[in-house]
Amino acid sequence: MPLPPCPICQKPVPPRPENTSQPFCSRRCRAVDLGRWLGEEYRVPDRQVDEQEDELPPDGSNRGHDA
């Protein structure tokens, strides 16, 4: 069953599971299509995940070994 070409670049679309971006040939073309939906062509969304780790307060208990 032949797949329709990529609607963005007209290249043949690789089959699944190799290509998870169907009906586009690549994630880039999918992003382009998404950008068109948002009215901005050829803009790849740049999601930057910046996780900040909360530093746990140091354990204040001062357990000496005095006997």
Q: Determine if 44 is a binding residue for Zn ion (CB under 5 A).
A: no
- What is the C-alpha radius of gyration for the chain, rounded to an integer number of angstroms? 25
Among 33, 35, 6, which Cα is nearest to 22's?
6
Q: By rule CB under 5 A, what string of x and - marks binding of each residue 1-40 to Zn ion?
A: -----x-xx---------------x---x-----------
Least separation in angstroms between residue 3's CB and Zn ion is: 12
Count of residues for the chain?
67
Least separation in angstroms between residue 21's CB and Zn ion is: 8
